Amino acid sequence: MIEPFRYAKKRKDFERPAAFEDSDLKHLGGSVSDESLAKYYTHKNPNYLVLDNIPTLSTHEVNTERVVTATRNMKHEEGGWPREVDYNEEHETNKWRTRKLKDELFATAVKELHNYTDKSIKQNNQINVFEEYFLGEKVDHSTETLSAKTLMLFKDPCEIKRGISKIAWCPDGPGNKIAVAYSINRFQKMPERMPMQSYIWDMNAPNTACKTLIGSSPLCSIAFNNKYTDYVVGGCYNGLMAVWDLREKDQPIWQTEVEKSHYEPVFDVYWLHGKSGSEFVSCSSDGRMMWWDFRKEGEPYDYCTITDGVGGDEEKILGGTALEYNPDAGATKFLCGTEQGYAVLANKKPQKSPEISHRYGVEAGKHGGPIYNLQRNPEESKCFLTVGDWCAKVWSEEIPTPIMTTRCHDTYLTDGCWSPTRPGVFVLSQMDGWLHVWDYYYRQNEIAFSHKVSDKVLTNVTIQNQPNAGKYGSLVGVGDSEGTVTLIELCDSLSTLQSNEKTAIKNMFEREYTREKNLRAAKRQAEGKKTAKKDDVKENGVNDKLQEELRKLEEAFFEKVGVDESEKHTNGNGKQREPTPPRQEETVQEVPPQEPVKEVASQDPVQEASQEPAEETPQDPVQEAPQEPAEETPQDPVQETPQEPAEETPQEPAEETPQDPVQETPQEPPQEAPQEPAEEAPQEEAKNGEVAES
C-alpha cells in the first residue's frame, strides 16, 4: 500500500490569492507566415534527443604579481636591558644584575625552567635525532626516472634585451652566487645606448642583483678568481680586459690599455693557478692568446698567435672562440677552440715563449663551424669535449682526430660542458631552446634526457662545479638570448656517481683511443702501398720505351753489318750461342749511340767480324755478370748479344773497343729480352766464324 504524501503550508505563505474570471479575447500580437523562409530552417526530429550532464567549463590563467623584496642590513650591538640602564656603563649593568639575582622570584623561575630543560635533555640523549641509519650505503639510481625541475629565474633588469654570453659560479662559500655577462655578439646589431652592466646574482635573493659590474664595453666573458674570490675578471667586446673588486664600487680597479689589448671581442678568460693569484689568460677572435698580470701595468707579459701551421706565406691566423685551462692536465697546457672548427694545444713554459704543439682536426674530424666550448673530462684529463655545428666530439691529446662523436642534432648547438660528478655525462644546449643530457655510461648512440628550457635561443650552459656547494653537480645554469638565466636542478640519477662508472668510462676512452690509432696506422700503410704501385707503373713505362728503342737499334746494326737472320743465332763453330747476362744500364749508357755504326760501314767486313768478339770477350763475364741482379737476367738476353765474345779471335786490338758497334747496344735498357730470345747470339758468332775463315 502506497502511503499518501501530505504537504502542509500555512495560508499566509501563499501570498495574495489569485482571482480568475472570464474575459473577452484579446489579440496581443502576431506574425504573418512566409513560406519563402522555409528553406532556411531544418525540421527537428522529435524522436532524436541529445542529453549531456557534463558541465561546461572554461580555463583561465592568472599570474600573480611578483613580490619585490630587498635586502637591508641591521646592526645589533646588545639588547634586553631596561631603558634606565645604560649597557655601555659596566657599573650600572652589574648593579642591575645583582638586584635581580637577590629577587625571590628569580630563584623560583630558575627551578621551574630546570625541570623542563632536564626532561628535554634526557630525551635528546635517549634518541639521537641526527643519526643516519644507512650511512655508507650507496643508493642505486639507475632505475630512477630521469627528470629535471626549474628552481628560479634571473631576469635582466635592463629594458634592452641582451643575450647571456657567459655564466660563472662563485667558488667561495655554499656556491649560491653566479656572475653573468651580458652582450649582443651579432655583428652591427648593438643599439646606440647599449647597457654596459653585468651582474652578480644571489640565489637567496633572485629578484634583484646583489652587485653590478660596469665596464667600458659589454662583457663577453667573466670568471671568478679561485684564490681570492672577491676579484672578478671580464673580457670586453672592444677587446679590453678589466678586473673588479666586489668589495669596492661598480667600476673596475684595473684595466688594460687599448693599444696593447685585443682588437676583437674576448670570448673566454681563465685564472691561472699560482702563488700570486693575479695572473690570467684570455683568447679572442683576433687570433691571439694573451697572458696578463693585473699587478702590473695594463699590458700582457706574453702572447701567442693561433695559426694553422702551414708555414710560409700561406699560413692563416685562426680566431679563438673558447679556452680551457686545467692544472691537473698540466700547468703549461692551454686548449683553444677556433672559428674555423679546429682545436689547438699551446704550451707556455716558464721563461720561454708559448708555442702551439698540437693541432686537432687538420687531417679529419674538424667541426663545420666555430667551436663554442671545449672542456677536459673531470676524470680523464687527457680527453676533452668540443661543441660546434650540429654535434659534440671527444678528442684525445695524443691523436689529431676525434675518438668519439655524437649523432647530428636537429638544430645548431650553442654550448656544452661535462658533469663534474659523473665523468660520463655532459649537457648540450640548442638554438631551439632544448637542453640535452648525454650519458655515455648508459648508452652512446642516443640522448639520455631532454628538457625544454625556453622558447628563445639558448646561448650558454654551465653546471655547479664547486665541491663545497650544497648541490654540487646537480644545479645547471642556462642562459638565453633574452637575458634570462634559468636555474635547473637535475635528478639524482644524472648527478650522483654510479657504481664502477669511473673505471668504465676510463676503459671506454682507452678502447676508442686504441681503435682510432690502429685505423690511422692502417690508413697510412694503405696509402704507402698505393704510392709504391704508382712509382712502379711509371718506371715500367719508361723501361718499355727504352726496350723498344733498343730493339730498333739492334735491327739497324745487323742490317748495316750484313748479317742474315739465319746466322744471328750461331757462332763460328756452328754451335748455338748461349745468352750472356745483361749489363747494368749505368755502364751501357755512357757510350754514344750512332758513331760505331758509321765506322762499321766504312771498314772491311772481314776485319770487323774478327774485331768485334775479341774486344768484348774479357769484359762481359768479369764486369757485368756479378753486377746484374738475378731477376733481370732472363729479361734481356738479346741486349748483350753483340757483346758476346768469340773466344777464338784474340787478334783484335783493344784500341778500337770504344768504336766497336757492339757498344751501341748496351745503351738500351735490359727489358726487351723476352721479345727476342737468345737466337741472335749464335747467328752473330757463326757469321764471325765464316769471316775469319775467309
Distance in angstroms (rounded) separating the CA atoms of residues 359 and 309:
8
- The C-alpha atoms of residue 456 and residue 390 are separated, in whole angstroms, by 18
C-alpha cell at 452: 625544454
Label residue 565 by pLDDT band (50, 70, 90): low
Longest dimension (CA), the chain: 179
In a domain, 78, yes or no: no
191-221 pLDDT tens trace: 888 889 999 999 888 888 999 999 999 999 9
User: What is the rounded average pLDDT of the residues 558-575?
Assistant: 57
Highest mean pLDDT among 308-317, 354-363, 584-593: 354-363
Q: Is residue 452's pLDDT more than 50?
A: yes
pLDDT tens digits along 529-538: 777 766 666 6
pLDDT for the residue numbered 536: 67
Mean of pLDDT over the chain = 79
- Alpha carbons 364 and 378: distance in angstroms, whole number: 26
**If you write DSSP's letter for every residue of 329-361 in order, what string do you get?**
T-TTEEEEEETTS-EEEEE--TTS--EEEEEES
- One DSSP character per residue, 52-90 reads --SPP-------PPPPP--------------TTS-TT-H
Percent residues over pLDDT 90 in the chain: 39
Measured between alpha carbons, how far is 573 from 688 in angstroms, rounded to an integer? 10
In one-letter notation, the amino acid at residue 358 is H
Alpha carbon 474 to its chain's center? 23
Given a contact cutoff of 8 angstroms between Cβ atoms, the answer to whether 303 and 259 are in contact is no
Please, are residues 374 and 387 in contact by the beta-carbon 8 Å criterion?
yes
* pLDDT computed for residue 54 by the predictor: 82
Q: Give dist(CA 141, CA 501) in Å, integer.
A: 13
Task: Report the amino acid identity of residue 174.
Answer: P
Q: Is residue 453 part of a domain?
A: no
Beta strands in 467-537 (DSSP E): 475-480, 484-490
Residue 377 has pLDDT above 60, yes or no: yes
End-to-end CA distance of the chain: 168
Minimal CA–CA distance to 303: which of 262, 359, 255, 339?
262
Query: Rounded distance, CA 385 to CA 401, Å?
Result: 12
CA distance 422 to 439: 9
Residue 554 pLDDT exceeds 90: no
pLDDT of 648-674, one tens digit each? Answer: 444 444 444 434 433 444 444 444 444
Cα gap 289→305, rounded to integer Å? 6
pLDDT at 2: 53
Q: What is the pLDDT of residues 257-305, one digit of tens each?
A: 999 999 999 999 999 988 888 999 999 999 999 999 998 888 899 999 9
Structural domain contains residue 346: no
Is residue 627 situated within a structural domain? yes
pLDDT value of residue 342:
94
Considering only 107-116, 413-422, 424-433, 585-594, which range has the smallest mean pLDDT?
585-594
Prediction pTM value: 0.62
Cell digits for 611? 774485331
Banded pLDDT at 107 (limits 50, 70, 90):
confident
Residue 38 counted as domain residue? no
Which residues are paired to 231 by β-bridges? 245
Residue 683 has pLDDT above 60, yes or no: no
The sign of the dihedral angle between the CA atoms of 284, 286, 289, 295 is: negative
Residue listed under C-alpha cell 755512357: 590
Predicted local distance difference test score (pLDDT) of residue 137 = 73
- The C-alpha atoms of residue 527 and residue 420 are separated, in whole angstroms, by 42
Count H helices, E strands: the chain? 9, 29
β-partners of residue 154 are 485
Tens digits of per-residue pLDDT, 459-497? 999 999 888 887 888 999 999 999 999 999 999 899 988
pLDDT digits (tens, 9 = 90+) for 50-93: 777 888 888 777 777 777 777 777 777 777 788 888 888 888 88
Mean pLDDT in residue range 392-398: 94
How many structural domains does the chain have? 1
588 belongs to a structural domain: yes
Residue type, 175: G
Per-residue pLDDT at 584: 43
- Answer whether residue 635 shows pLDDT above 50: no
Q: Which residue has the higher pLDDT, 348 or 614?
A: 348
Give CA separation, 59 vs 55, 56, 62, 63, in Å: 13, 10, 10, 13
Q: Is residue 327 part of a domain?
A: no
Q: Which domain holds residue 558?
A: 533-693
- Whether the CA torsion 573, 579, 580, 586 is positive or negative: it is positive
Q: Is 70 exceeded by the pLDDT of residue 592? A: no
Question: Given this model, what pLDDT does residue 85 score?
Answer: 86
Is the pLDDT reported for residue 557 higher than 90? no
CB atoms within 10 A of CB 656: 17
Q: What does the alpha-carbon distance between residue 665 and residue 134 come to, in Å, rounded to a whole number?
A: 99
Summarize the confidence of residues 307-321 as an average pLDDT.
87
In a domain, 665, yes or no: yes
